[in-house]
Structure 1
């Protein structure tokens, strides 16, 4: 199995640079915010963080491709870095601390593309999570100060905690009834939003989560971390990985039931 330790270390360096840039402008009274064509906000911090990451990748991994939320795709080849400079920009611009920089490495193999490195850094929460293929998933301040994380062993939906972002989008997919039925079946439901419920699935404090419409940069890092923590990450149709335009993540034990409620089984 290939060793992705050096790539993981680089991803931490990239996250450190992004954290410095985003925290410097968090809750700044003169923060500049624009509206993108899809009517979602983008701040100057989003752009600066992605520019910093792209610049360091250009120096450290010049042959690798990059896909980022703010500046699109660049380069080609079997290795591609996937970057979301601020996942949770709406929270960021309102001063809510639930946002993170998401960095992943996807490689092309005989079976198709696969995420092999993922880092999720949430500096306003003082949290970071990471994983590399075959090496497990961890949380902590740094590579040298970390605790391994694992998914829960909850095996019944009636005992499960269900995390999601919002109700938006479920009705458009014709899956709102299933979403509401699942919510009523589970022991607890909470709209934590964005990256956070996936990290809680990986840590074992939440058992299932799902979102109806996402981009690759929203999912790639989460996918690696959830899988290396022992869970499953698929589309709502059950296709493994972060490439299906939506997401279902679980401890593995509840995954088929989760897909059944949300129309993917």
Structure 2
């Protein structure tokens, strides 16, 4: 792993991910899993809250001067200084349905910029992480490797993913997304954290989402950019808190944005 000024924070993020994995793997497909709904009608489980509480406990002990913003317990992602941004289970609907595609997302945001990202998907046997100046990395059963985005230069050869086609109708433009689909070689809906990780790996060229929360994509921003790609919202602003997300290999970013903006 390349040494950067955030190496100690990456190691701490890995410790946080280990603690989260122990909880989520144990509660996955549990018969007594407790499920409720938040005001926005999204589901939350006892595993979500247990993970966030565990992470907050470790951070309180090891980084008492840092602040925390989490999906379940709140906090400001735009607070000055160092903020740990946590999504305890990204892909809760998958988690509930027994689908193993879910992960804990942990990011360190420094003065508004993500500088460390950790994505841990224990049932996939995968972990991805990155730090500013330290590159992007992944680990699976074959070992650890540095990540790099693809070199596909044009949309007709690009592989595209989103989370849910219906969300484009509600939050942006279904026609805009379908225009992007038509312009690309292939499309799927890998969704949530996974397609951003696949962009960083070079497996996909584009991951586009019309609606996200900051904790959904703070880790993705540093992961994709450290792998050599670009991450913006759908207006083209390089921010994780703009309410939408576009991860690409960089080469097709402007062309994708143009199609999304023109409708």
Q: Give the TM-score normalised by the residue count of structure 2.
A: 0.95
8 Å contact 1:237–1:264 — kept in the other structure? no
**1:85 and 2:99 aligned:** no
Say which SS state the counterpart of residue 121 (structure 1) adopts: strand
1:160 aligned residue: 158
1:183, distance to aligned residue in structure 2 (A): 0.6
2:103 aligned residue: 100
Match of 1:185 among 179, 183, 186: 183
Match of 1:238 among 218, 232, 236: 236
CA distance in 2, matches of 1:74, 1:254: 33
1:192, distance to aligned residue in structure 2 (A): 0.6
8 Å contact 2:158–2:184 — kept in the other structure? yes
Deviations 1:90-130 (A, max 9, x none): 0001110000000000001xxxx211000000001000000
2:192 aligned residue: 194
Q: Matched residue pairs, number? A: 259
1:243, distance to aligned residue in structure 2 (A): 1.7
2:134 aligned residue: 135
1:149, distance to aligned residue in structure 2 (A): 0.7
2:147 aligned residue: 149
8 Å contact 1:236–1:264 — kept in the other structure? no
After superposition, the Cα gap between the structure-2 partners of 1:264 and 1:107, relative to the gap in structure 1 and judged at 3 Å, is: farther
1:47 aligned residue: 49
CA distance in 1, matches of 2:124, 2:167: 27
Say which SS state the counterpart of residue 128 (structure 1) adopts: strand
CA distance in 1, matches of 2:140, 2:172: 41
8 Å contact 1:175–1:263 — kept in the other structure? no
8 Å contact 2:4–2:134 — kept in the other structure? no
1:241, distance to aligned residue in structure 2 (A): 2.2
CA distance in 1, matches of 2:22, 2:259: 41
8 Å contact 2:171–2:211 — kept in the other structure? no
1:67 aligned residue: 69
2:224 aligned residue: 226
CA distance in 2, matches of 1:56, 1:102: 15
1:168, distance to aligned residue in structure 2 (A): 2.2
2:259 aligned residue: 261
1:172, distance to aligned residue in structure 2 (A): 2.6
CA distance in 2, matches of 1:18, 1:74: 21
CA distance in 2, matches of 1:188, 1:55: 43
1:15, distance to aligned residue in structure 2 (A): 0.2
Q: Name which of structure 1's ranges 115-124 and 160-169 shifts more when overlaid on structure 2.
A: 160-169
After superposition, the Cα gap between the structure-2 partners of 1:148 and 1:264, relative to the gap in structure 1 and judged at 3 Å, is: farther
Which consecutive residues of structure 1, in runs of 5 or more, have no partner in the other structure? Answer: none
